[in-house]
Structure 1
Amino acid sequence: MTTTEYRRILLDGAAVQVVREGDELLAADGRRVRTDRAHHLPPVVPSKVIAVHLNHRSRVAEFGTTLPPAPTYFHKPVSALNSHHGAVVRPEGCHYLNYEGEIAVVIGRTCRNVSPADAGDHIAGYTLANDFGLHDFRDTDAGSMLRVKGSDTLCPLGPGLVTGWDFHGKYLRTYVNGALVQDGSTDEMTWDMHYLVADIARTITLHPGDVLLSGTPANSRPVQPGDLVEVEAEGLGRLSNRIVSGPTALRTDVGAQPTASEEVLSTALGGDWEFRGIRPPRR
Structure 2
Amino acid sequence: MQVLQKTQKIVRYQNQQGKIHYGIVEDEMILQLSSSFAELVNKEIKYDGVELKYSDVKILEPVKPSKVVNFGWTYAGHAKETGGEANLVEPFLFLKPLSSLIADKEKIILPPNDLSNQVELEGEVALVIGKRGKNIKEEDALDYVFGCTIFNDVTARDLTKKDPQFTRGKGFDTFGPLGPCIVTGIDPTNLRIVTTLNGRVVQDGNTNQMSLSIPFLISWLSQVMTLEPGDILATGSPSGSCSINSGDVVVVEVENIGQLCNYVE
TM-score above 0.5: yes
1:49 touches 1:212 (CA, 8 Å); kept in 2? yes
CA deviation string 1:103-130 (max 9, x = no partner): 0011000010111111111111110000
Residue identity (%): 33
Is 1:7 matched with 2:16? no
Distance of aligned partners of 1:42 and 1:63 in 2 relative to their CA distance in 1, 3 Å threshold: closer
Residues paired across the two proteins, number:
243
Match of residue 110 from structure 2: 90
Q: Which consecutive residues of structure 2, in runs of 5 or more, have no partner in the other structure?
A: 34-47
Distance 1:141 1:41 in 2: 32
Is 1:49 matched with 2:54? no
1:125 aligned to which of 147, 166, 169: 147
Per the normalisation by structure 1, the TM-score is 0.82
2:191 aligned to which of 170, 174, 179: 170
Per the normalisation by structure 2, the TM-score is 0.87
CA deviation string 1:147-170 (max 9, x = no partner): 211110111111101100112332
1:108 aligned to which of 106, 125, 130: 130
Distance 1:69 1:196 in 2: 11
**In the TM superposition, what is the alpha-carbon distance from 1:2 to its structure 2 partner?**
4.7
Match of residue 156 from structure 1: 177
Bigger shift: residues 223-232 or 55-64: 55-64
Match of residue 87 from structure 2: 67
Q: Which consecutive residues of structure 1, in runs of 5 or more, have no partner in the other structure?
A: 245-283
2:77 touches 2:86 (CA, 8 Å); kept in 1? no
Alignment of 1:1-283 (within 5 A): 2-11=6-15, 12-28=17-33, 29-62=48-81, 65-93=85-113, 94-143=116-165, 145-244=166-265
Cα RMSD for the two superposed structures? 1.7
Distance 2:138 2:184 in 1: 19
Distance 2:49 2:151 in 1: 29
Q: What amino acid is aligned across from residue 155 of structure 1 in structure 2?
A: G
1:4 touches 1:19 (CA, 8 Å); kept in 2? yes
Match of residue 45 from structure 2: none
The 3-state SS of whatever aligns with 1:92 is: coil
**In the TM superposition, what is the alpha-carbon distance from 1:68 to its structure 2 partner?**
2.7
